[in-house]
Amino acid sequence: MPDYKDNDPMGWCGNPSRGAALGRPTISNGEPEGKMTLRRSYLNSGGYDRNGTYFGCGAPLYWFADEGGNVDGVLRAGHREQAKAKVLQIHPTARFYR
């Protein structure tokens, strides 16, 4: 099962002493393998996630990743079903579980 910390950028340019990372990289190496995880990633009032990565304020942030490690990314959506629809636009073969 994928973990949100798996592809944590670990600070600005990979160096936490230089400050917070701005967002996180999207990994898209082909189609998803296995089931897709889709979870809301809560941000604090300053726009930082639990890893200390900066995303800014705005619509809720959702993280998605597959079991095989081919796909890992984040997107903004108003609610989970909207986030799921956005992931399906990118990866039409994705299957989800909670």
- Of 68 and 14, more confident: 68
Average pLDDT, the chain: 92
Q: Say if residue 75's pLDDT is above 90.
A: yes
Helix, strand or coil, per DSSP, at residue 76: strand
The pTM for the full model equals 0.90
Q: Say if residue 98's pLDDT is above 70.
A: no
Chain centroid offset of residue 46 CA: 18
Tell me how far apart the alpha carbons of residues 63 and 42 are, in angstroms, rounded to a whole number: 10
